[in-house]
Structure 1
Amino acid sequence: MKPVRVLVAPDAFKSSLSATEAARHLAVGIATASADCTTVECPIADGGEGTIAVLERLGAHLHHTIVTGALGYPVPASWAAHNGTAYVEVAQGPARTTYPSTPG
């Protein structure tokens, strides 16, 4: 029988697994279920949560900083740089969906 290659290309599972973690777990599950399969892990992102992590995996340099969130509080955020282009994941800064009840 011809060997089967399986492309594992998940997006992040919001608030539980990054795209990279999801790809790894899925690949392990496939390998466990079928020894005849080989997997190719290729985590993806749609531009929202998890995009910076996928860009880092593709060779972008990750930077950490503090930005001002929508409520005026400082919040941690990351951005990536690759080949002279900066990538910002807005979900980490002004568009965050959770905030502390008090600054700090």
Structure 2
Amino acid sequence: IYFVQISFRADTKHTDTDDDLSSGPKLIKCFSDREDFDFSDLDSVQPAQILDLSPDQIKDASKIPLRGSRFQRCTSAQFFIEANQDDTSVLMRLFVFYGH
């Protein structure tokens, strides 16, 4: 994800409770400012942060803070979903960045 323009919107939450939470992401590796990042680099590059999401965080569309020291003034962010909750595939309906 490259940041070209910043826009502001009011907070909204995804409230569709019929979703199967077993297909949500569980383990997400977050990287910053790695424009030439490739999947083959996963073993050799340390992630800036690793998120371990619970089913409740997915259901509630919780805001999960990223480490400010690692993501301040970054121009790009890369995310790798390493594991899902329980399903063999992942379903993401909402992925939002909040910044200031």
The TM-score, its normalising length taken from structure 1, stands at 0.24
Which structure carries more helix by proportion?
A: 1
Q: Which has the higher contact order (CA 8 A, sep 6+)?
A: 2
TM value normalised by structure 2: 0.24
Larger radius of gyration: 1
